[in-house]
A and B are shown apart, each in its own frame.
Chain A
Amino acid sequence: MKVLVAIKRVVDYNVKIRVKADQTGVDLANVKMSMNPFDEIGVEEAIRLKEKGVVTEIVAVSVGPKETQETIRTALAMGADRGILVNTGSQDVEPLTVAKILSAIAKAEGPQLVILGKQAIDDDCNQTGQMLAQLLGWPQGTFASKVVVEGDKAEVTREVDGGLQTVRLTLPAIVTTDLRLNEPRYASLPNIMKAKKKSIDEKTPADFGVDAAPRLKVLKVSEPAKRKGGTKVKSVQELVEKLKNEAGVI
């Protein structure tokens, strides 16, 4: 069976971002960009399913600017078979737009499973997988920490409030990854070289009849309130005294 993995190019998780002075957004000039960590976990999961013989082909799909090619190359170097880039230029795209594009691609490609990250660490929306599931009319296993495919079912163990929940989904289905699903591999040098020869199809939202214009109007992006920390205490006794008499929280 075929698997689609959706990946997003985001600001690297180690970068401390800066809000632009004019409050129009976040300063992305010369900032290190990487594959969204949850999507790396998604790519890894697809590769493991292929290694187990469950999956025959992995298609890595991304919606984003031209540079997203690099992110797709990373997925190909990890082990995905081919890529599709839906180029949205400098336009910011919302999860609903991405879900509509992925839905059109899923209809054309006919995968049994689409794996996405549970959330992108830039917009922190946590929406795309669920939206895609609804648009396709498929079941979903979100926040997955274990995925077992057997016949026409997938058993997905999910990280929920209070612990773990396991659901059984009739394929085709959507899975979104959580941190504990696996530890993604690094691409080896030979695989990075090989990935250069794998194909990446380039498309635009219009090819799928999707209007990529955002629905929400961003009025401003501002700095969060700053905490005034940094005070040290010398001993546990002083700490307890301060919590009691100064802060009054115990």
Chain B
Amino acid sequence: MAVLLIAEHDNKSLKDSTSKAMTAAIALGGPVDILVAGHSVRSVADSAAKIAGASKVLLADDPQYAHQLAENMAALILELSGKYDAILTPASPSGKNYMPRVAAALDVAQISEIVSVDAADTFTRPVYAGNAMQQVQVPSGTKRVITVRPTAFKAAELNGTAAIETIGAAKGPGTSEFVREELSKSERPELAGARVVVSGGRGMQSGENFHLLEKVADRLKAAVGASRAAVDAGFVPNDYQVGQTGKIVAPELYIAVGISGAIQHLAGMKDSKVIVAINKDEEAPIFQVADYGLVADLFKAVPELDEELKKQGY
């Protein structure tokens, strides 16, 4: 089965989600080509060529792919689609944006956010905010169009040496254009791939108070996340949101502070290896999933945690 994996990147670096989705692609059992579409992305293609299991890297380097506009991405993928039996990409905001267009044009059902490849035609995916797992089978002879939940797959090794083949741009419809972007700058690790995540909820009370969490995060080299309530209240930017409709994370350690543990939040973090909850309400549902729960006022506990970590040399 010939497989096309579309790389996730920001024109500068390849995201880990790509090598994780590669593991799903390999499980389908075919030669896997990786498509890198972007602008000035030679170095991204070089990184993609190192992903073990890649047969070749297709490089579409053109200004029209600089912002991954869905209309243009779909047009390019569709032009390449004839040769492939399966097309995959990480279930990132970008992949979620263009991939259904590809599926619709190919007249196939897309399989969103798979968490396992059970057979070359059978996949499992979460539904109802991860409160049920649905196993689906694709009818024989149809192309598979899939988005992959990166946290559910181990990253492929980076010792490959695939060849890079430059391909031309496809003609986009020209009905959409990029205007601007406002990206939050942070020196901290990215939420999606961080080893440790410290998240705050409504209990934080303000954006300023997130500094308490940032101090702890910096000691643990952690990313900072949030609940929807904290984002809606304007404490932190939208891309901090962890949950069913935000980011899905599965770090080694997730520390939830002043978060009650609504199902929509749990959907985004319950696959973390170790969960810590700090909440003053001992009945808060977050404690049901926490490996270590601390019933305490966060304004006392978080500074204490910072002190204790400092004392221990973190």
Interface residues of A (CB under 8 A from B): 11, 13, 16-17, 19, 26, 38, 94-96, 99, 118-119, 121-135, 137-143, 145, 155, 158-170, 173, 178-180, 214-224, 227, 229-233, 235-237, 239-240, 242-244, 247, 249-250
Contact = CB atoms under 8 A, between A and B. Distances in A.
B309 A134 contact: no
A213 to B, nearest CB: 11
Contact of A159 (B133, B138, B238, B314): B238
B132 A222 contact: yes
B136 interface: yes
Contacts of B107: 96
Contact of A130 (B97, B111, B137, B264): B97
B30 interface: no
B52 interface: no
Interface residues of chain A: helix, strand, loop or mixed (majority): mixed
B275 interface: yes
15 contacts: A19-B131, A96-B109, A118-B245, A124-B129, A127-B100, A166-B181, A168-B177, A216-B137, A217-B137, A221-B132, A224-B132, A227-B270, A232-B292, A236-B305, A249-B274
Interface in B32-74: 67, 69-71, 74
A242 B292 contact: yes
Interface stretch (B18-26, B153-161, B207-215, B283-291): B283-291
B100 A168 contact: no
Contacts of B69: 167
Interface string B73-85: 0100000000000
B179 A166 contact: yes
B275 A229 contact: yes
Contacts of A16: 131, 263
Given A126-B96, A168-B176, A247-B273, 4 more contacts: A140-B97, A161-B92, A230-B290, A247-B291
B237 interface: yes
Given A139-B175, A169-B176, A162 B184 contact: yes
B98 interface: yes
B305 A239 contact: yes
A26 B128 contact: yes
Given A142-B97, A224-B132, A232-B287, A163 B181 contact: yes
Contacts of B264: 13, 121
Given A139-B173, A216-B111, A249-B196, A161 B179 contact: no
Most buried by A among B126, B130, B228, B239: B239
Given A134-B104, A161-B94, A164-B181, A145 B134 contact: no
A244 B312 contact: yes
Nearest to B139: A215
B187 interface: no
A95 B111 CA distance: 10
A100 B169 CA distance: 28
B85 to A, nearest CB: 16
Interface of B: 10, 67, 69-71, 74, 92-94, 96-105, 107-113, 122, 125-139, 142, 173, 175-184, 192, 196, 220, 228, 231-232, 237-239, 244-245, 252-253, 263-264, 270, 273-276, 282, 287-296, 301, 304-305, 308-309, 312, 314
Contacts of B127: 26, 122-124, 221
Nearest to A100: B104
Contact of B112 (A125, A155, A223): A125
A247 B100 CA distance: 40
A17 B132 contact: yes
Given A95-B110, A119-B245, A219 B122 contact: yes
A170 B113 CA distance: 30
A30 B193 CA distance: 40
B136 A168 contact: no
A26 to B, nearest CB: 6
Given A169-B176, A221-B127, A227-B289, A160 B239 contact: yes
Contact of B110 (A127, A140, A227): A127
A170 to B, nearest CB: 5
B245 A224 contact: no
A239 B111 CA distance: 40
A106 to B, nearest CB: 14
B182 A163 contact: yes
B23 to A, nearest CB: 19
B176 A229 contact: no
B305 A240 contact: yes
A131 to B, nearest CB: 4
Most buried by A among B105, B135, B184, B238: B238
Contacts of B104: 96, 99, 130-132, 134-135
Per CB-CB distance, the 5 closest pairs between chain A and chain B, nearest first, are A130-B100, A131-B104, A134-B101, A139-B176, A127-B100
